[in-house]
Structure 1
Amino acid sequence: MATPINGGTQGLWIDPHQVGKAAAAADKVAEDIPGDIKGLFKTTDAAVAGLAGFESAPALDECLEAWTKALRALAGLVGGAADAVRDSNNSFADEDRQRRNAFLGPYAPGAGPPDMYYTPYTPDLTTPPSANGGR
């Protein structure tokens, strides 16, 4: 997601497409967890039925309930993390767009900058040290 910038510039470049993929992957995990939880019920119910009359049968049910609650909470946390990553990515893109537009202006009355995503990162371009003060 973050790539060192080559050439004279120091720092990291955040690739919005990779960040978007990470958010989508987290969304998928959060969406898959409830289905995975359902898979626990069949085997646990079979074990409880096989242990009818034993004290371990209700303990298995309680354990399943605790795991279900924990996994649902985990799904919520992962979904929230996906939203936070996506929001951060959108903020970075908006900031880049605003900075780009600041360099493009001023515009004629009634005209404005094009509303498109601009990515200044070109992996094949090396910035000469003289372009940023020799650093």
Structure 2
Amino acid sequence: MSTPIGGATRGFWIEPNEVHKAAEAARKVAQDLPQDIKALFTPTDAAVVGLAGFHVAQAIDDCLEAWTKALRSLAGLVDSAADAVGSSNKSFTHEEQERRKTFLGPYAPGVSPPGLSHPYTSAPPSANGGY
């Protein structure tokens, strides 16, 4: 998601596309978890039926309920994290565009300021000492 910058510049070069991919991957995990939870029911129900009359049957059923709650909570946390990463990526991209406008000045889209063929904000990391 980020590349260390070397040379006189210290910090990280953020790759918005990679941040977006991370948010989407987290969102997919959050969406897949409910299906994964459903996969727990068949073998657990079979065990409870097979152990009917034993105290362990109720314990297994209680354990399934606890796992279900925990995994649903985890899905919610992962989904919230995906939202946060996606939101920070949008904020970063918006700020980068605003800073780019500041560097470019009041030029028409596609027109570069005199003497600047590549504005700093659109240059690759290697242009300022990055890798």
TM-score between the two structures when normalised by the length of structure 2: 0.83
The runs of 5 or more residues in structure 2 that have no matched partner are 111-118
| 1:43 corresponds to | 43
| 2:23 corresponds to | 23
Instruction: Give the drift of 1:28.
Output: 1.0
The count of corresponding residues between Structure 1 and Structure 2 is 120
Q: What amino acid maps onto 2:9 in structure 1?
A: T
Contact 1:101 1:113 in 2 (8 A): no
| 1:75 corresponds to | 75
| 2:115 corresponds to | none
Instruction: Give the drift of 1:8.
Output: 2.9
Q: Distance in 1 between matches of 2:78 and 2:44?
A: 25
Deviation sequence 1:25-68 (CA, Å, 0-9, x none): 10111011100000100000010011011111111111101110
Q: What amino acid maps onto 1:12 in structure 2?
A: F
Identity within the alignment, %: 62
Q: Distance in 2 between matches of 1:68 and 1:124?
A: 48
| 1:91 corresponds to | 91
Distance 1:121 1:66, change over 3 A: farther
Q: Distance in 2 between matches of 1:18 and 1:121?
A: 17
| 1:131 corresponds to | none
SS of corresponding position for 1:3: strand
Instruction: Give the drift of 1:120.
Output: 2.6
Q: Distance in 1 between matches of 2:105 and 2:90?
A: 22
| 1:105 corresponds to | 105
Q: What amino acid maps onto 2:52 in structure 1?
A: A
Q: Distance in 2 between matches of 1:7 and 1:101?
A: 26
| 1:122 corresponds to | 124
Q: Distance in 2 between matches of 1:102 and 1:22?
A: 29
Distance 1:10 1:91, change over 3 A: same
Distance 1:80 1:32, change over 3 A: same
Q: Distance in 2 between matches of 1:120 and 1:105?
A: 15
The runs of 5 or more residues in structure 1 that have no matched partner are 128-135
SS of corresponding position for 1:125: helix
Contact 2:27 2:82 in 1 (8 A): yes
Q: Hey, which of these two has a bigger chunk of helix by percent?
A: 2
Question: RMSD of the TM alignment (CA)?
Answer: 1.9
